[in-house]
Amino acid sequence: MSHAFQQCIHPDCQASYDIGQILTACETCGSLLDVQYDWERIAVPTSLLEFETRWSNRLNPLDLSGVWRFRELLGFPADEQIVTIGEGQTILQQNDRLASVIGMNPEKLFLQYEGLNPSGSFKDNGMTAASTHARMVGAKMTACASTGNTSASLAIYAGVSGLFQCVVFVGSGKIAYGKLSQALDYGATTLQIDGDFDDALARVRELCAEHPIYLCNSVNPFRLEGQKTIMFRVLEGLGWEVPDWIVVPGGNLGNSSSFGKAFMELKQLGLIDRIPRLAIINAAGASTLDELVNDNKLQWNDGRNNAAVIRDYYASMDGEDRRASTLASAIEINRPVNLVKALRALNVCDGVVRSVTDQEIVDARALIAANGFGCEPASGATIAGLRQLRTEGVIAASDRVACVLTGHQLKDPDLTVAYHTDDSEKQAEKLHPAGVHLTPHANSPITVRNDTAAIVHALGLA
Ligand SMILES: *Cc1c(COP(=O)(O)O)cnc(C)c1O
Ligand SMILES: [Zn+2]
């Protein structure tokens, strides 16, 4: 029997629901839902080290998975219900070269590389959990709206498990080709609607409310349970020592929300003794959280946050027909569905929010790659944000910082090539409309005649 249930996050409501119910909001008050556990009745290991020892037991698919290795901490399914494809085998890399470039001391900067997941982004951590719940409730069809990675991830789980038909909604012209190619390749029914992500999400929510289709966007509380494990693995990579800061890009704010919940629970269970601080980085062209928190002073306030501030902000956004716009397409979102949960995470983690420009994002992305790890533009926001927080003195050179690189470099090769090339046509299409220009980080290809002497000359060897 499962000791898990769903519960409304609003402190004045706290309505609870069985895990067998398919919900994306509280039926009483409309707030977001959490998956909660009756911890007293769960045999949680008394030391985090116990999870690590499972690593060696790789023939058991649940121990091989970097998500389900931690199964007691997200114990909503029975073992035999779990849908896993070996996700979460990601690494935490100490990067001293990058640290020195951005003004951090040696041995202080760590990159949590989630691009190593089966579909190339952190979304697999969540999709294994959402797909597991979809199976538990007997769903036959799963759906999501996506800026790209969510659809790639949902599609791979549907395809490889053969359990679900899968439909994904993407905004037209807004999706990186690497991601679109995955959804098509894995066999998802792909709907390109003429709107942006926020529109696509509104449509898919309507569809799922009226038809027997299981919604896998991050309003799905089961999905966020899987994403908690990214933080478990960061701790594991640090020998179970808590870092000073976690830095993460903010789009729909599912990651930030799940990280806050992960640390709340670990602390409550006595598995850690302090909670790291959290820095959520928006793109300047999609900075709803930054503006609400820093300009409008919106706070969690024990769950009784000021809904009028949020409503007014969205009303003025709609009044101006303001649309999210950034080259970091994975975080090109103006109505983050997990906004209120992210406020809770900021409260729990004594967090901060910042915005970075597209130029800063693409430069940081190139800088990360030049120092050993490729990632997609949205992930570059972490290092751009860290730079800003170093300059402000909010993060010290001696702080231990883990940045989550959310997606793989090869997700968006067009942008990378446009960034590095001096081909003005490519640049005009990709970079210039966003006001981005070539920088010293660019590594342009050299055109050379098919001739040995010319090659020797081009290489500066003669
Ligand atoms: C989805 C995504 C994000 C945004 O994460 P949220 O949890 O929605 O805030 C950031 N980077 C990449 C690569 C993503 O795919
Ligand atoms: Zn409620």
Q: How far is CA 214 from CA 76, 82, 164, 420, in A?
A: 17, 16, 10, 41
Whether 454 shows a pLDDT value over 90: the answer reads yes
Ligand nearest to the CA of 376: 1
- The closest residue, in CA terms, to atom 2 on ligand 1 is 330
Q: What is the pLDDT of residue 122?
A: 98
Give φ, ψ of 129 to 5 degrees: -75, -45
Q: What is the pLDDT of residue 414?
A: 87
Q: Which residues contact 236 (CB under 8 A, 6 or more apart)?
A: 48, 51, 52, 92
What's the gap in Å between 255 CA and the centre of ligand 1?
A: 7
What's the gap in Å between 256 CA and the centre of ligand 2?
A: 21
Q: Quick check: CB of 356 below 6 Å from ligand 1?
A: no
Q: Which residues contact 455 (CB under 8 A, 6 or more apart)?
A: 448, 449
What's the gap in Å between 359 CA and the centre of ligand 1?
A: 19
Whether 433 shows a pLDDT value over 90: the answer reads no
Q: Quick check: CB of 83 below 6 Å from ligand 1?
A: no
What's the gap in Å between 301 CA and the centre of ligand 1?
A: 26
**Contact call for residues 298 and 305 (beta carbons, < 8 A):** yes
- Strands 109-113 and 91-94, by their bridges, are antiparallel
Q: What is the pLDDT of residue 428?
A: 67
Amino acid at 361: I
Q: Which residues contact 425 (CB under 8 A, 6 or more apart)?
A: none
Mean pLDDT for 378-399 is: 98
**Is 189 exposed, middle or buried, given 0-12, 13-18 or 19+ CB atoms closer than 10 A?**
middle
Q: Quick check: CB of 338 below 6 Å from ligand 1?
A: no
d(CA 253, CA 230): 14
Structure tokens at 405: 């690189």
- Per-residue pLDDT band at 162 (split at 50, 70, 90): very high
Q: Which residues contact 87 (CB under 8 A, 6 or more apart)?
A: 65, 66, 67, 117, 118, 124, 125, 127, 128
Ligand 1 test: best mutation among 121, 287, 368, most atoms within 8 Å of CB? 121
What's the number of CA atoms in the CB half-sphere (13 Å) around residue 112?
A: 27
Q: Which atom of ligand 1 sits closest to the CA of residue 376?
A: 13
What residues does each domain of the chain span? Answer: 91-119+224-414
Amino acid at 169: F
Q: Quick check: CB of 115 below 6 Å from ligand 1?
A: no
pTM for the predicted model, two decimal places:
0.96
Structure tokens at 307: 């809904």
Structure tokens at 396: 């010290």
Q: Quick check: CB of 36 below 6 Å from ligand 1?
A: no
Q: What percent of the chain is predicted at pLDDT more than 70?
A: 97
Give φ, ψ of 7 to 5 degrees: -145, 140
> What is the signed CA dihedral for 318, 321, 326, 331, rounded to 10 degrees?
20
d(CA 422, CA 181): 26
- The closest residue, in CA terms, to atom 1 on ligand 1 is 330
Long-range contacts of 12-17 (CB under 8 A, 24+ apart): 12/303, 12/304
Q: What is the pLDDT of residue 400?
A: 98
- The closest residue, in CA terms, to atom 14 on ligand 1 is 330
Domain 91-119+224-414 CATH (choose: 2.40.50.100, 3.40.1440.60, 3.40.50.1100, 3.40.50.1220): 3.40.50.1100
Whether 434 shows a pLDDT value over 90: the answer reads no
Structure tokens at 377: 């533009």
Q: What SS3 class is residue 266?
A: helix
Neighbouring C-beta atoms of residue 219, cutoff 10 Å: 21
Mean pLDDT for 56-61 is: 93
Q: Which atom of ligand 1 sits closest to the CA of residue 280?
A: 9
Kindly state the DSSP code that residue 31 receives in the 8-state scheme.
Answer: -
Ligand 1 test: best mutation among 87, 111, 119, 122, most atoms within 8 Å of CB? 122
Ligand nearest to the CA of 34: 2
Mean pLDDT for 340-365 is: 97
**Contact call for residues 225 and 70 (beta carbons, < 8 A):** no
Q: What residue spans of 280-338 are helical by DSSP H?
A: 288-290, 307-319
Q: Quick check: CB of 149 below 6 Å from ligand 1?
A: yes
d(CA 150, CA 170): 10
Q: What is the pLDDT of residues 174-192, one digit of tens each?
A: 688 899 999 999 999 999 9
DSSP string, 44-85: --SSTHHHHHGGG-TTSHHHHSTTGGGGGGG--S-GGG---S
Q: What is the pLDDT of residue 23?
A: 95
Q: What SS3 class is residue 284?
A: coil
Q: Quick check: CB of 416 below 6 Å from ligand 1?
A: no
- Per-residue pLDDT band at 55 (split at 50, 70, 90): confident
Q: What is the pLDDT of residues 117-142, one digit of tens each?
A: 999 999 999 999 999 999 999 999 99
Ligand 1 test: best mutation among 125, 149, 326, most atoms within 8 Å of CB? 149
d(CA 120, CA 178): 10
- Per-residue pLDDT band at 42 (split at 50, 70, 90): very high
DSSP string, 341-359: HHHHHHHHTT-EEEEE-HH
Q: What is the pLDDT of residue 198?
A: 84
Q: Quick check: CB of 151 below 6 Å from ligand 1?
A: no
Per-chain mean pLDDT for the chain:
94
Q: What is the pLDDT of residue 176?
A: 86
Q: What is the pLDDT of residues 187-230, one digit of tens each?
A: 999 999 998 888 899 999 999 999 999 999 999 999 999 999 99
**Is 168 exposed, middle or buried, given 0-12, 13-18 or 19+ CB atoms closer than 10 A?**
buried
Q: What is the pLDDT of residue 1?
A: 61
